[in-house]
Amino acid sequence: MRGQRYLRALRRRLGPAPSPEPEPSAPAIGAWVDTAPSPWDRSTKAEDRASAWCNICRWTGPAFEGPQHCEFASCPRCGSIARDRFLLWCFVERTPPALRTRLLETSPRMGPDYRRAMDRWFTYTCSDFDERAHAGTVRLDLQAIDLPDAGLDVILTPHVLEHVPETDTALSEIARVLAPGGRMYLQVPVLQGATAPPVEPEFHGDDTPVFWRFGPDLTARLRDHGFDTTLLCTEDWQRRVDGGDQDWGAGTSREFDVTSLLGGSIAADLQSVADEAAASRLGFLPSYMFLTWEAIKR
């Protein structure tokens, strides 16, 4: 609840953001699905030079819409926000090219154009549980996944596990449906140094209750369930943890206890996947908001 109040207040304070002007050579909005290359295609020189670049639809422009925040910095073409881009970036950076791989995405935030693109690239299924905010092609409960053993190669699960009451049950089910060597890219709000339930009732925007506020200690829990686990981050966060920083040194979002996050992070568990130039170009700022687990089934 506190998180949603903060986001609503931030939106009111900032007001509508002006849309960046697209480059003259950019495809028309809505046409990106049929023109976007494979996610593993190298970025072009123009994309590397751009101030802002979307790795999903390949838009380039002067800036994303809205402030630097994992829930904002929207792409004006495909509508991705910063955490959407970071999830796909982590997967592609850490996985050999694997088009047509069997991929499940749980409760994807993005709509039909994004799903059509994913279906071009992968054998793609998207799921949801209560379907209040995201209608999937199948309805799945992560605590009892109605899929066969070892039937998936990749699971992308953005901002779902915090809404699941029994974390260990869900992780056991995910391990069951992944093939040996299969990968999960797990994204949740990492708000504090250690996992704990909310101190007061908390709900996200679709009135879904939050059962857990996760910390970096989720790494050890994933390993207990048979996953080789790495916590992926940007170069800035890796540098701060490696250097033993104890505080951020500037104003931070009230939703993130950055001091305890720094204290709870273990340098050996981290792997940077974006240098400072890439993080700036893709909107992965500030770095404490961009942590995603890679969990590979042994």
Q: Is residue 58 part of a domain?
A: no
Q: What's residue 13's pLDDT?
A: 36
Q: Which domain holds residue 289?
A: 2-12+76-297
| The token pair that represents 129 in the structure block | 């549980």
Per-residue pLDDT tens digits for 105-114: 999 999 999 9
CA dist 122 and 116 (Å) reads: 10
Task: Write down the mean pLDDT value for the chain.
Answer: 90
Residue 135 has pLDDT above 80, yes or no: no
Q: Is residue 55 part of a domain?
A: no
Residue 268 has pLDDT above 50, yes or no: yes
Per-residue pLDDT tens digits for 168-204: 999 999 999 999 999 999 999 999 999 999 999 888 8
Q: Is residue 25 part of a domain?
A: no
* 27: enclosing H helix or E strand: none
- pLDDT tier at 131, thresholds 50, 70, 90: low
Q: Is residue 234 part of a domain?
A: yes
Which residue is associated with the tokens 């630097």? Answer: 68
- pLDDT tier at 151, thresholds 50, 70, 90: very high
Domain count, the chain: 1
Higher-pLDDT residue of 2, 196? 196
| Cβ atoms 173, 106 nearer than 8 A | no
Q: Is residue 222 part of a domain?
A: yes
DSSP state of 289: G
Q: Is residue 160 part of a domain?
A: yes
Residue 254 has pLDDT above 70, yes or no: yes
Question: Can you give the CATH number for the domain in which 122 is found?
Answer: 3.40.50.150
Tell me how crowded residue 62 is: count the other CB atoms within 10 A of its CB: 11
Residue 7 has pLDDT above 90, yes or no: no
Q: Is residue 259 part of a domain?
A: yes
- The answer for residues whose C-beta is within 8 angstroms of residue 18's C-beta and 6 or more apart is 65
Residue 23 has pLDDT above 50, yes or no: no
H, E, C per residue of 52-120? EECCCCCCEECCCECCCCCCCCECCCCCCCHHHHHHHHHHHHHCCCCCCCEEEEECCCCCHHHHHHHHH
State what percent of residues in the chain have pLDDT above 90.
Answer: 81
State what percent of residues in the chain have pLDDT above 70.
Answer: 87
Q: Is residue 33 part of a domain?
A: no
pTM of the entire structure? 0.89
| The token pair that represents 41 in the structure block | 């295609």
- pLDDT tier at 129, thresholds 50, 70, 90: confident
